[in-house]
């Protein structure tokens, strides 16, 4: 039985259909990635699953409990790290977790052990008595993951857990997240803008304008883009092109002095190419499709195009300000 089951779920806000008839299932003990650009409907879906928002139509269940009819059972089964941080900055790390443990009726005799375990798990035990306002963004996120685990949920929702973190903090947080299913038997439901993070997911669904436009394993999705590209530099491109075409019965093209061909099994082809061309080969490189390519193919846009353009807008505003300032 899937631990999360969503059937024909929709949510409207006035005229806007934020979530439009989506269906999917998540298997227990896996990491499920929900990908999509700004405003795609990710947080709205999470809010419905977490019983914070009612759907307009359709249904959803977690651990066999219906999100609409059995909200308190669902709440016991889930933990959540919200998109915006919700820690109390004027409490210490330890106090934040203790507050959460009280809210969830964790037995007093178990409380200290669980909090200590959680703090060790995310590498914050040494900082347990520091006020959260002294924490970096990455430390706050790790503390929120620890907090989400205190009541031993079966499903942990992570809404953009790494948004705004520097690459090092992102990597550190990921070390903990990927361990969760194995070490704590938790199913992870996460959203992210970072396609390379989505690579660790067992399954992915891509949502755009409230509609799921693709789903599958990262490998399955990448195969839909059309395979690996092999680039080859040789001492005699004309001759090499004919030889490779005869070898694999594919079309080989040339760009900037480099031959290239598309194939589904790039790594297996490379030794054959080198064997066939012998000393003519100068270099060979393999480019695998990324989830970014998948998103681009499905939607015609980059997942972060909007962010990039808003960044450009800011830069443009700064330039305009400077121009005006310089003139005066």
Q: Which residues bind ligand ATP (CB under 6 A)?
A: 13, 16, 18, 36, 38-44, 83
Tell me: does residue 162 bind Mg ion (CB under 5 A): no
| Residue closer to Mg ion, measured from CB, 79 or 266 | 79
Considering only the stretches 21-29, 38-46, 165-173, 263-271, report the one whose residues sit in contact with Mg ion under the rule CB under 5 A: 38-46
Residues in 72-131 that interact with Mg ion by CB under 5 A? 83
| Residue closer to Mg ion, measured from CB, 11 or 151 | 11
**Local structure of residue 2 (DSSP, 8 states):** -
Concatenate the DSSP letters of all residues of 219-252 into one string.
Answer: HHHHHTTT-EEEEEEES-HHHHHHHHHHHHS---
Centre a 10 Å sphere on the Cβ of residue 194 and count the other Cβ atoms it contains: 19
Query: Using alpha carbons only, what angle is made at residue 35 by residues 135 and 303, rounded to the nearest 5 degrees?
Result: 90
Report the partner that residue 61 touches, choosing among ligand ATP, Mg ion, none (CB closer than 5 to 8 A by kind): none
As measured in angstroms, the least distance from the Cβ of 270 to Mg ion is: 41
As measured in angstroms, the least distance from the Cβ of 11 to ligand ATP is: 8
Query: Among 184, 203, 74, 86, which residue's Cα sits nearest to residue 141?
Result: 86
| Residue closer to Mg ion, measured from CB, 45 or 96 | 45
In whole angstroms, how far apart are CA 90 and each of 16, 96, 207?
38, 9, 37
Q: Which of 20, 43, 96, 234 binds Mg ion (CB under 5 A)?
A: 43
Tell me: does residue 44 bind Mg ion (CB under 5 A): no
As measured in angstroms, the least distance from the Cβ of 45 to ligand ATP is: 7
Rounded (10°) CA dihedral 232, 237, 238, 243 = -40
Binding site for Mg ion (CB under 5 A): 42-43, 83
């Amino acid at each position: 039985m899937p631990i999360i089951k969503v059937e024909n779920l929709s949510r409207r806000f006035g005229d806007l259909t934020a979530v439009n008839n989506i269906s999917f299932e998540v298997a227990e003990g896996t990491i499920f990635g929900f990908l999509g650009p700004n405003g795609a409907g990710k947080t709205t879906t999470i809010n419905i699953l977490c019983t914070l928002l009612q759907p307009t139509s359709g249904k959803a269940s977690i651990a066999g409990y219906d999100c609409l009819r059995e909200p308190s059972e669902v709440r016991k089964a889930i933990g959540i790290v919200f998109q915006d941080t919700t820690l109390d900055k004027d409490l210490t790390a330890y106090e934040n977790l203790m507050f959460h443990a009280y809210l969830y009726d964790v037995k007093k005799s178990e409380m200290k052990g669980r909090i200590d375990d959680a703090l060790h798990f995310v590498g914050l035990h040494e900082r347990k008595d520091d006020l959260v306002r002294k924490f970096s963004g990455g430390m706050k996120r790790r503390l929120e993951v620890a907090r989400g685990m205190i009541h031993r949920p079966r499903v942990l929702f992570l809404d953009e857990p790494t948004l705004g973190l520097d690459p090092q903090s992102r990597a550190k947080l990921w070390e903990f997240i990927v361990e969760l299913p194995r070490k704590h038997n938790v199913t992870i439901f996460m959203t992210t803008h970072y396609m390379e993070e989505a690579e660790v997911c067992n399954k992915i669904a891509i949502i755009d304008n409230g509609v799921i436009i693709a789903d599958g394993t990262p490998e399955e999705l990448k195969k839909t883009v059309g395979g690996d590209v092999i680039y080859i530099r040789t001492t005699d491109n004309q001759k090499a092109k004919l030889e490779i075409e005869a070898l694999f019965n594919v079309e080989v093209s040339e760009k900037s002095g480099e031959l290239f061909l598309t194939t589904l099994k790039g790594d297996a082809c490379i030794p054959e190419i080198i064997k066939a061309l012998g000393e003519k080969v100068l270099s060979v490189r393999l480019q695998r499709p990324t989830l970014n390519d998948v998103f681009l193919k499905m939607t015609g846009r980059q997942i972060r195009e909007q962010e990039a353009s808003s960044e450009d807008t800011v830069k443009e505003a700064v330039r305009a300000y400077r121009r005006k300032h310089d003139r005066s």
